[in-house]
Amino acid sequence: MKVTLEHLTKIFPSRNKKTGGEVIAVNDFTFDIPDGQLIGLLGPSGCGKSTALNLISGLEKPTAGRIFFGEEDVTDVPPEHRGVGLVFQNYALYPHLTVRQNIIFPLQNLKGEQKLTKEQMDEKALEAAKVVQIDALMDRRPGELSGGQQQRVAIARALVKTPNVLLLDEPLSNLDARLRLQTREELRRIQRQTGVTTIFVTHDQEEAMSISDLIVVMETGVIQQIGRPQDVYDDPVNLFVAKFLGTPAINTFEGTLRDGALYLGDECVLSASALALSQPDAPAASESPAASSAASRPVTVGIRPEAFLIDPDGPFTCTLSRLEIMGRDTSVISTHPAFLGDSIRSIVSSESAVSIRDLPPGTPVRFSLRPAKVHLFDPATGARLR
């Protein structure tokens, strides 16, 4: 089922009686969600992603805008008639009911031609349980299940009505790290097996990037960027998106473009030719960093942790703080006067880190940079410079 959101807006009144005003939770949200795809709705707490999910489900009524499921306008359709399956963060299972009874519960509210016999409900519940691989646990109660098993029960309950759209509101946040990894792989498998259009809300960018066909990055109710996870990571439209995606986070510096080359402090870390090749093609109205040989301007420079290459003859010099050895990779923690933060975090292979492993803190370490992992931003607006 294709889902179309047209200029969707939700405004709440301010709870502060003294200042008054309004809170715009979702601001002019326009997006086409393709049929059968898994969409990651991603952003920090308070950005409006859960409100957007509630608008799609019908739990909230939009202040403005329209919602379409296929060609049908469902903006004013009650949630129980929209054909959505909703999985909450806390799973919301009935503790006194068995797994079978929890899964069957939505079917018991069907009326008219949709009403099912007990045998039909049992059959559908078993089918849904098999999809999420909990068919052997049908007679247990939620208190007898692990967190991952409870989450699967909640998904089975959402799937049992064969929904047009499956909505997941941070369903993995209550699980430990290892179980979260296993369960998100299961979510992807279930979505592919059922083919149901799925919207997955999370603040965890690693989760969203690992299982989504497309990600929608939000901030303060506004869509910042939409695209395939790797495309958004490699080509962020602004500093917010660049900072939000990536673990460890992107390193940011005060830099200068001078004669088409990039300087951090007094060091030319990327030549004009390397910098030009690293930047994506720009719209005609955009400013090219190397457009003028006489140009000199301040920029905010974002350098991904994987951009650093240990190089005794490299153009970029940092001061070593310590190493964090992680097996296959090593994290080099260092400092630089132009860095906008406390510590630079560079991810290098453990083999290349052997050359600096025994160096004491305070020793200069030289790097060269992968140009494709270096991004330039306007210091005032945060917009990406092309």
How does pLDDT run across 96-141, given as a tens digit for each residue?
999 999 999 988 887 777 888 899 999 999 998 998 889 999 999 9
Please give the biggest Cα pair distance in the chain: 79
Contact 122, 98 (CB under 8 A): no
Separation between Cα atoms, residue 11 and residue 21, nearest integer Å? 10
Q: What confidence tens digit (pLDDT) does each residue in 263-300 have?
A: 999 999 999 888 877 666 544 334 444 444 446 899 99
For the ranges 7-11, 122-126, 159-163, 172-176, which has the lowest average pLDDT? 172-176
What pLDDT score does 364 carry?
A: 96
**Percent of residues, the chain, with pLDDT higher than 90:** 61
Separation between Cα atoms, residue 132 and residue 138, nearest integer Å? 12
Beginning with the edge strand found earlier in the chain, give each strand of the sheet holding 329-335 in spatial order.
Answer: 308-310, 364-369, 316-325, 329-335, 344-349
What pLDDT score does 285 carry?
A: 34
> Nearest Cα to 3, choosing from 83, 80, 59?
83
pTM of this structure:
0.85
Helix (H) or strand (E) holding 244, with range, is helix 239-244
Cis peptide before 163 (omega within 30 of 0): no
The pLDDT of 348-352, averaged and rounded, is: 91
CATH of region 3-237: 3.40.50.300
- Residue 78: how many CB atoms within 10 A of its CB? 8
The pLDDT of 314-325, averaged and rounded, is: 95
Mean pLDDT, the chain, whole residue set: 89
Tell whether the model's pLDDT for residue 382 goes beyond 90. yes
Q: Which residues have a Cβ under 8 Å from the Cβ of 9 and sit 6 or more positions away?
A: 24, 26, 27, 28, 29, 62, 63, 64, 65
What pLDDT score does 17 carry?
A: 67
Contact 55, 62 (CB under 8 A): yes
> For 344-375, b where at least 16 C-beta lie within 10 A, e where not — what string?
bbbbbeeeebeebeeeeeeeebbbbbebebbb
Q: What confidence tens digit (pLDDT) does each residue in 196-234 have?
A: 999 999 888 888 888 899 999 999 999 999 999 999 999
The pLDDT of 40-55, averaged and rounded, is: 92
What pLDDT score does 282 carry?
A: 43
The pLDDT of 136-151, averaged and rounded, is: 90
Domain ranges of the chain: 3-237, 251-377
Contact 167, 84 (CB under 8 A): yes
Tell whether the model's pLDDT for residue 161 goes beyond 90. no
CATH architecture assignment, domain 251-377: Beta Barrel (2.40)
What pLDDT score does 280 carry?
A: 60
The pLDDT of 84-93, averaged and rounded, is: 84
209: its two tokens: 């990037």
| Cβ-based burial of 265 (10 A; exposed 0-12, middle 13-18, buried ≥19) | middle
What pLDDT score does 281 carry?
A: 57
